[in-house]
Structure 1
Amino acid sequence: MTRAGGPVRRSGISGRGDVGDPGTPDRASELGWDDSLYERGAERRASVPGQRPAPDAEGHGDGRGDDGGGNDGAGQGRSGRGGRASRRQRRKPKPRWRRVLVWTAASLALLVAGVAVAGYLYLEHLNGNLTKKPRSAGSGDLEKPPPNAAGQSPLNILLLGTDSREGEENQRLGGARDLAGGPIRADVQMLLHASADRSNITVISIPRDTQVPIPECTDPDTGEVYPAVGSDSINNAHTRGGPGCVLATWEELTGIYIDHFMSVDFAGVVDIADAVGGVPVCVEENVHDPKSGLRLEAGETIIQGEQALQWLRTRRGFEGGSDINRTRAQQMYLSNMVEELQASATLTNTGELMDLAEAATNALTVNNEIGSVQALYDLATDLRQVPNDRINMVTLPWLPDPANPDVTVIPDPTASAELFEMVRTDVPLDDQDAEPSEPSSEESTNAPQPSPPAEVAVSVRNATGSEIQAPADGRASELTNELLRLGYAQATTDTASVETAPTTEVRYAEEADRVDAEALAEALGIPRDRVMASPATEGVALVIGDDWREGTAFPETPDEPDETATEDEPAIAEDDIISGAGGEDCMAVDPNYTW
């Protein structure tokens, strides 16, 4: 790490101590990592992305939003591309920390496996520390695609960070002790896609207030069944069945089969940092944030214990005062912690290694299929094949939510569909011009062909309508008749399902139905990127969105760019991609919080 401002200092603070000022009441929050949890008597503002309230009574700050919200990019820049414009307004992040959430879990897995020298019985003890849950809690499930001609399969892992208040340490970190035992949200969500040949990794993060359909889920711990909802914030999926419901929601959203999930709370991460002996962080100038309590001199400092907690919750003290930069600071901390683990002599000291392994296994919740030290070791070894400079991260393209544009967002239907298609077809973000790998002649011969239209069961659903206008009458019947005319003799009108959709989609349940869904879309003139996997669907379904309120020919949407004008434009702009090529980084400091 570059040492800006002098030699490395080791903080004199160790251990945890109490969070916040004595006597400050814990306050409930949907967000476990907001320093506003520890304010005294402050009123919560609306969770408007990018909101900037007035300075506090002490005169600190310049009105940066105590939104308690932040949207991991939402509201920070031009609509539809996850905040691209904001990069022109703030310091461009350097790439040192960018692969942290990719490698944190993998490094923990390697760490755990290193205790094999301690013997079989201790390994069994560590296996017992891991929290294990079913892979999916959804009512439907995507089929895992078959391997390619070389026998290779991509690997998709959902990485989650939760706001759990379970246990004294999580209450100490997150505050709001009265929330212990209550619903747990997953505020950090990233989908890691390792290509079939392990040459590259794509990581897609999603703003936590993104409104998405959440499928029916069953809580594996209580057996409670949560009915599907048409739209809710994606971080709430965790409250409806745990990480397995979040996985089912991502599969519904993306049409991508997800192999595993790994969930981490920050209590375990901080325990590991203490066991390692501290984690180096860096600020460009002296910083003092009275809200979080963080006070550091310019340059690099090794922090642990209570000071580590202060770093992880600081927002106002960093340049921009946004949740985005707080997330960046957390990522820097985790990235440097992983580097300390890899470089530390602790990994050769059996006693200290056992302490670390205890913390790591207690920190992780994983799906049953990787619920052992050996499975985690194999997974981590597999991922470490990928070169660091081929790890690329991107935020899901988004648009303001028409129902609540100042607070929540929705996936950009066109750009997000293109991104998901790239992942499904194994096209890397750093080579978007590449075509999906060509199938062998045998694969081409054996490629599934669409069924005759008369043999395809199609349900037609009228999902027109929005917050500002009623559904268009008779749309399902009209398009059912059109499908009958086109030879789809089993087309029927679905009157039981009630939902609204801004855009038209053709949905299919299983991979075997995909070619039939694509053929149906082609017959109606619907773009191929509107064909979506949906485990809750039976067979093939035509969902008529609010963009097709009349006629039987799918309309050319006026806001879609002309294809000839965008022929060479990549699905994701280069400045929206964060590369993992390495570098150095120090957090920039808000000038109102220097000393």
Structure 2
Amino acid sequence: MRDGTVGGNGFGTAPNPDHRGWDESLYRDDARAYAPGAPSGTDFGGDDGAGSGAGPDADPASSDGGQEPPERIPGQRGAAGGGGHRRGGSRRRTKSRKRRVLKWVSIGAAVAVLGSAGAAYGYYEYLAGKIRKGERVSGSSTVAKTKANAAGKTAMNILILGSDSRNDPEDLKLGGAKNTVGDAARADVIMIAHLSADRSNMSVVSIPRDTRVNIPACTDPKTHEKFAPVNDIINASLGRGGAGCTLATVQNLTGVYIDHWLTIDFSGVVKMADVVGGVEVCVKQNVDDHSTPAQPGGSHLHLKAGKQKIYGETALKWLRTRHAWGSDAARAKAQHMYMSALIRQLRSQNLFTDPGKLNKIATTAMEAFEVSKEIGTPKKLYDLGMQLKTVPSDRITMLTMPHDADPKAPLAHYIPSADAPQVWSLLRNDVAMDGNGKAKTPASGAPATTPATTAPQGPAAAASDTIAVSVVNGTAGTSDGVATPNRAGGIATTLKTAGFTKAEASQQTKPSPGTTLTYPTSSGDQGKADATAVGKALKIPAGNVKASADVDTITLTIGADWKTGTDFSKTLPKSGSVPTTAEAVNGADTTGCMEVLPIYRW
């Protein structure tokens, strides 16, 4: 039997991971969660550990290659115990034989378990060694981490970036543009993937890479180089402090807290497209994204009209194509088609009954992506993938940030349009962007999307006139920077009229893109009940009431999304209320097809 421990000749280096298994019982109680279809303790590593056949159900006579050890050869006389003619000797020999058999079975089982554990640990370490990690944030941002809602659940936002760097020889071969070698990386793809708190729906919002924004002060975590704030195209943020700088930029633009980031480069795209077995896309006309005098460069994508699967370098060319579609915003639409098809492709493959295929995809993914360090282990990435896997395709929405032409460069760049805050509000308030999860309108005629304001399970709220509330004016937000005068005082008066006589307007201001209602973490369930009662008076959903260690009393911060009125529910976007300018596409839609500009047809 091979040595199954790290440093031996088994899985210490995992030279052929496609044939290796992975027993997550090393760090998770449910050993089967990562090897579906296999019993706990199963060894997927060929003859590593379990190859001897020893085990509880094994034939004892064959536990050592079919031959018994010398001390228990049948018929042997003169063994310890006084010889074969002693009365009761046969029974003793039988018991002795059973004890020896049990000993050998136990030893075999122990070796099998240790071998499997060693193999699993070795493979886990092999995968862990493939992961590249970086700082979650490396720029200045004041957007607070999302708190759990009243039900104890939290939405998740992941920033997905595609780097155009040619500094790696493998990327240079694929990406061309040799004159950019040594340049700072730029973000060709910028997407926010939002997974709802109840994990029932997901939305993916693309920010065109040519959008002009304010990039904050950033520090490169690798070189420690400092970069001053600048107003520039958002794709430049990646080269001013890595993905953590782009994350801070996106947070400041949207007011949405980003939990994690994932970055993939050219070679990573090629590897992933091949390992999943290709991704289906569609073009209405034959396309050739060639270089022209007006638009030099090009991706050199060359496809016939119609639906087809693309692989490797062709997939990379598809994701990079811009000129043939007509704009960077149209490129985002093509990327959405690719991503939706990729998700459908992965869901159609029964990977969890095919450990070899699963391991191959896992290994490729670990090599293809760089991730923020807080999710930089195989287990955490696996758990993240499992959460994304639960969302059905028809509850996934792909869209692009609504945008206008940039006055500084109207033919080349964009700025967020007046519809963009609606998209950011949908994300911040965890409102589904599809209409497929909407409940039917009740007989009373009340709209199905009216936010729930009922108190959570737990103690009853205290008397309203005993509940202290601090009201903060944060209406300056991060968009126009203009605050509504006396906004905190007006809402405090509304609360007093509703019986919350201890409500007071704070003299401090705290610009916030979204309205928040928080209570001290230390106040526990009673604080939650009291804050929910405050929210009910203003029609703030119970799901928006969150605990915070940063406040010492119930605090209502009125954000830029609630500049007028006393009924917060009127400001909330409804399920499926995505602006038409966002060009939303449902993840289950397979009818999309890219239009090709005439000059790029053949």
Matched, 1:249 2:249: yes
CA distance 1:583–1:224, shift in 2 (3 Å): same
Tell me if the contact between 1:185 and 1:238 (Cα under 8 Å) persists in the aligned partners.
Answer: yes
**What SS does the aligned partner of 1:160 have?**
strand
CA distance 1:507–1:452, shift in 2 (3 Å): farther
CA distance 1:326–1:429, shift in 2 (3 Å): closer
Q: Summarize the alignment of residues 157-236 of structure 1 with structure 2, pairs less than 5 Å apart.
A: 157-229=158-230, 231-236=231-236
Structure with more contact order per residue of length (Cα contacts < 8 Å, sep ≥ 6): 1
Tell me if the contact between 2:432 and 2:575 (Cα under 8 Å) persists in the aligned partners.
Answer: no
CA distance 1:443–1:153, shift in 2 (3 Å): farther
Tell me if the contact between 1:341 and 1:347 (Cα under 8 Å) persists in the aligned partners.
Answer: no
Matched, 1:572 2:578: yes
* Runs of 5+ consecutive residues of structure 1 not aligned to the other structure: 1-109, 495-503, 514-536, 546-553, 557-562
C-alpha displacement at 1:220, in angstroms? 1.9
Matched, 1:156 2:185: no
Matched, 1:366 2:371: yes
Tell me if the contact between 1:508 and 1:538 (Cα under 8 Å) persists in the aligned partners.
Answer: no
Q: Summarize the alignment of residues 24-35 of structure 1 with structure 2, pairs less than 5 Å apart.
A: none
**CA distance in 2 between partners of 1:351 and 1:420 (Å):** 41
Name 2:432's counterpart in structure 1.
428
C-alpha displacement at 1:180, in angstroms? 3.5
CA distance 1:315–1:360, shift in 2 (3 Å): same
Name 2:260's counterpart in structure 1.
260
**What SS does the aligned partner of 2:125 have?**
helix
AA at the equivalent of 1:195: S
**What SS does the aligned partner of 2:261 have?**
strand
CA distance 1:225–1:509, shift in 2 (3 Å): farther
Name 2:589's counterpart in structure 1.
582
Name 1:145's counterpart in structure 2.
147
**What SS does the aligned partner of 1:189 have?**
strand
CA distance 1:335–1:387, shift in 2 (3 Å): closer
1:227-283, Cα deviation, whole Å (9 max, x unpaired): 444x43322322232222222223223333322212222311212334456555444
**CA distance in 2 between partners of 1:567 and 1:335 (Å):** 25
CA distance 1:282–1:163, shift in 2 (3 Å): same
Q: Summarize the alignment of residues 295-334 of structure 1 with structure 2, pairs less than 5 Å apart.
A: 295-317=302-324, 321-333=326-338
Name 1:240's counterpart in structure 2.
240
**CA distance in 2 between partners of 1:567 and 1:337 (Å):** 29
**What SS does the aligned partner of 1:271 have?**
helix
Matched, 1:392 2:397: yes
1:40-62, Cα deviation, whole Å (9 max, x unpaired): xxxxxxxxxxxxxxxxxxxxxxx
**What SS does the aligned partner of 2:192 have?**
strand
1:521-580, Cα deviation, whole Å (9 max, x unpaired): xxxxxxxxxxxxxxxx9999x99x9xxxxxxxx999xxxxxx99x999985335743222
Q: Which of 408, 417, 422 is equivalent to 1:418? A: 422
AA at the equivalent of 2:183: G
CA distance 1:305–1:192, shift in 2 (3 Å): closer
CA distance 1:278–1:187, shift in 2 (3 Å): closer
- Tell me which structure has the larger Cα radius of gyration: 2
**CA distance in 2 between partners of 1:129 and 1:235 (Å):** 26
**What SS does the aligned partner of 1:270 have?**
helix
Name 2:131's counterpart in structure 1.
130
CA distance 1:116–1:419, shift in 2 (3 Å): farther
**What SS does the aligned partner of 2:399 have?**
strand
Tell me if the contact between 2:329 and 2:400 (Cα under 8 Å) persists in the aligned partners.
Answer: no
**CA distance in 2 between partners of 1:271 and 1:446 (Å):** 56
**CA distance in 2 between partners of 1:464 and 1:159 (Å):** 23
**What SS does the aligned partner of 2:222 have?**
coil
C-alpha displacement at 1:213, in angstroms? 3.2
**CA distance in 2 between partners of 1:184 and 1:334 (Å):** 22
**CA distance in 2 between partners of 1:172 and 1:451 (Å):** 65
CA distance 1:479–1:196, shift in 2 (3 Å): closer
**CA distance in 2 between partners of 1:189 and 1:436 (Å):** 31
Tell me if the contact between 1:459 and 1:493 (Cα under 8 Å) persists in the aligned partners.
Answer: yes
C-alpha displacement at 1:315, in angstroms? 4.3
TM-score by length of 2: 0.56
Name 2:94's counterpart in structure 1.
none
Q: Summarize the alignment of residues 426-465 of structure 1 with structure 2, pairs less than 5 Å apart.
A: 426-431=430-435, 434-441=449-456
AA at the equivalent of 2:271: D
1:2-27, Cα deviation, whole Å (9 max, x unpaired): xxxxxxxxxxxxxxxxxxxxxxxxxx
**What SS does the aligned partner of 2:398 have?**
strand
Tell me if the contact between 2:283 and 2:594 (Cα under 8 Å) persists in the aligned partners.
Answer: yes
C-alpha displacement at 1:389, in angstroms? 0.8
Q: Which of 376, 383, 390 is equivalent to 2:381? A: 376
C-alpha displacement at 1:141, in angstroms? 5.3
**CA distance in 2 between partners of 1:464 and 1:154 (Å):** 23
**CA distance in 2 between partners of 1:308 and 1:218 (Å):** 33
CA distance 1:439–1:138, shift in 2 (3 Å): farther
Tell me if the contact between 1:398 and 1:409 (Cα under 8 Å) persists in the aligned partners.
Answer: yes
AA at the equivalent of 1:233: I
AA at the equivalent of 2:394: D
C-alpha displacement at 1:375, in angstroms? 1.0
**What SS does the aligned partner of 2:161 have?**
strand
CA distance 1:276–1:398, shift in 2 (3 Å): closer
CA distance 1:170–1:124, shift in 2 (3 Å): same
385-394 vs 336-345, greater mean Cα deviation? 336-345
Name 1:91's counterpart in structure 2.
none
**CA distance in 1 between partners of 2:427 and 2:479 (Å):** 29
C-alpha displacement at 1:378, in angstroms? 0.9
C-alpha displacement at 1:120, in angstroms? 2.5
**CA distance in 2 between partners of 1:234 and 1:343 (Å):** 35
CA distance 1:436–1:427, shift in 2 (3 Å): farther
**CA distance in 1 between partners of 2:372 and 2:478 (Å):** 35
TM-score by length of 1: 0.56
AA at the equivalent of 1:426: D
1:73-99, Cα deviation, whole Å (9 max, x unpaired): xxxxxxxxxxxxxxxxxxxxxxxxxxx
CA distance 1:280–1:441, shift in 2 (3 Å): closer
Count the aligned residue pairs. Answer: 430
**CA distance in 2 between partners of 1:116 and 1:216 (Å):** 51
Tell me if the contact between 1:459 and 1:491 (Cα under 8 Å) persists in the aligned partners.
Answer: no
CA-atom RMSD, angstroms? 5.5
**What SS does the aligned partner of 1:125 have?**
helix
CA distance 1:211–1:491, shift in 2 (3 Å): farther
C-alpha displacement at 1:293, in angstroms? 4.2
Tell me if the contact between 2:146 and 2:154 (Cα under 8 Å) persists in the aligned partners.
Answer: no
Name 1:271's counterpart in structure 2.
271
**CA distance in 1 between partners of 2:261 and 2:239 (Å):** 16
Tell me if the contact between 1:142 and 1:511 (Cα under 8 Å) persists in the aligned partners.
Answer: no
Tell me if the contact between 2:340 and 2:587 (Cα under 8 Å) persists in the aligned partners.
Answer: no
Tell me if the contact between 1:138 and 1:218 (Cα under 8 Å) persists in the aligned partners.
Answer: yes
